[in-house]
């Protein structure tokens, strides 16, 4: 049983929902990211999505695109991220929080001749979400990750048919990620009223926990999502808070305070 599955089972037994924050690795630098990971774990993050910066982030809105640009100037890639996650596992507060690597397929290509699953597992990664990997082309990759006891998380869009939802669910483990709206990531003023119905359709195809993300930015929106889903994912709002505080000695604490407020809404 993976750390992600254990976490969702613990939350379900306690009658709670999951708060899943996202940050971009290396934004504004790796040392700050490492401090942020520990702070998010201490703030109550149930699972953390750690984004790998990429030069062509087609699924990301302007806030996360700018974060990737800042990180790539360092530069930061998978090779730099894995040792950082491994160090996180040495801290008591970071030992048990599940980490999902949020990436595009290209950054993983540097490990094409290696056993990627074992390498990720040894570093302390619990799951992977590859935004541009479709289930029709994922058989060998999913098999490799499952052999390494790493969960595969796939995105389900508002436009997904029931047939496609079933296909995605069959390739998924850990949880499935429902995209709250079409388009790229980013802060939104409201959540589409169709998301609840989409979550219901997903539940007809799988017993995996359902997380909802893309556009969730306030405690009120987190509370709304947690009313019908198993987890709320918040990314752009936290990344925006990082951007707003670059150069401030209080950056980590301000992001952690926002995370605590979002977690309390679950």
Give yes or no: 29 in active site. no
| Residue 218 · residue 261 · CB < 8 Å | no
Query: What band does 184 get if pLDDT is binned at 50, 70 and 90?
Result: very low
Indicate the Cα dihedral angle 235, 131, 124, 215, nearest 10°.
10
Q: What is the CA radius of gyration of the chain?
A: 17
- Which of 36-40, 45-49, 136-140 is least confident? 136-140
60 is catalytic: yes
Please count the other Cβ atoms lying within 10 Å of the Cβ belonging to residue 125.
25
pLDDT reading at 120 higher than 90:
yes
pLDDT single digits (tens) 199-241: 999 999 999 999 999 989 999 999 999 999 999 999 999 999 9
Is residue 181 pLDDT above 70, yes or no? no
Average confidence (pLDDT) over 11-28: 98
Percent of the chain past pLDDT 70, that is, above it, reads 94
Q: Which candidate, 213, 222, 139, places its Cα nearest to that of 176?
A: 213
* Cβ pair 83, 123 in contact under 8 A: yes
In this predicted structure, the answer to whether residue 190 has a pLDDT above a threshold of 80 is no
Query: Does the bond joining 75 to the residue before it have cis omega, within 30 degrees of 0?
Result: yes
Predicted local distance difference test score (pLDDT) of residue 122: 96
Q: What mean pLDDT, rounded, does the chain reach? A: 92
The whole-number pLDDT of residue 186 equals 43
Please write down the HEC assignment for all residues of the chain: CCHHHHHHHHHHHHCCCEEEEEEECCCCCHHHHHHHHHHHHHCCCCCEEEECCCCCCCCCCHHHHHHHHHHHCCCCCHHHHHHHHHHHCCCHHHCCCCEEEEECCHHHHHHCCCCHHHHHHHHCCCEEEECCCCHHHCHHHHHHHHHCCCEEECEECCCCCHHHHHHHHHHCCCCEEEECCCCCCCCCCCCCCCHHHHHHHHHCCCCCCEEEECCCCCHHHHHHHHCCCCEEEECHHHHHHHHHCCCCCCHHHHHHHHHHHHHHCC
Residue of 60, 151, 230, 241 marked catalytic: 60
State how far the Cα of 172 lies from the Cα of 166, in Å rounded to an integer. Answer: 10
Indicate the pTM of the whole model: 0.94
Span 126-146, pLDDT tens digits:
999 999 999 999 999 999 999
Paired with 19 in beta bridges are 232
Please identify which of the residues 27, 34, 46, 49 carries the catalytic annotation.
Answer: 49
Q: pLDDT grade, residue 59 (50/70/90)?
A: low
Share of the chain above pLDDT 90, in %: 85
Give yes or no for residue 191 having a pLDDT over 80.
no
Q: Is the pLDDT of residue 250 over 70?
A: yes
């Amino acid at each position: 049983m993976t750390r992600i599955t254990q976490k969702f089972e613990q939350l379900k037994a306690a009658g709670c929902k999951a708060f899943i924050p996202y940050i971009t690795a290396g934004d504004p630098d790796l040392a700050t990211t490492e401090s942020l990971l520990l702070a998010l774990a201490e703030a109550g993050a149930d699972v953390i999505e750690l984004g790998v910066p990429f030069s062509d982030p087609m699924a990301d809105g302007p806030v996360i695109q700018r974060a990737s640009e800042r990180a790539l100037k360092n530069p930061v890639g998978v090779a730099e991220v894995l040792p950082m996650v491994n160090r996180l596992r040495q801290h008591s507060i970071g030992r048990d929080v599940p980490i999902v690597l949020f990436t595009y397929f290209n950054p993983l290509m540097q490990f094409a001749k290696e056993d990627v699953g074992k390498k990720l597992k040894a570093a302390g990664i619990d799951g992977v979400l590859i935004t541009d990997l479709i289930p029709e082309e994922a058989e060998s990759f999913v098999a490799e990750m499952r052999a390494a006891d790493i969960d595969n998380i796939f995105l389900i869009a508002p436009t997904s048919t029931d047939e496609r939802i079933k296909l995605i669910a069959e390739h998924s483990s850990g949880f499935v990620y429902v995209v709250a709206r079409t388009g790229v990531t980013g802060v939104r003023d409201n959540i589409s009223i169709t998301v609840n119905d989409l979550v219901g359709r997903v539940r007809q195809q799988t017993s995996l926990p359902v997380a909802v993300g893309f556009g969730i930015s306030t405690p009120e929106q987190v509370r709304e999502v947690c009313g019908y889903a198993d987890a709320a994912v918040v990314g752009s709002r936290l990344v925006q808070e990082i951007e707003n505080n670059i150069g401030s000695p209080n950056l980590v604490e301000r992001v952690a305070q926002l995370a605590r407020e979002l977690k309390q809404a679950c």
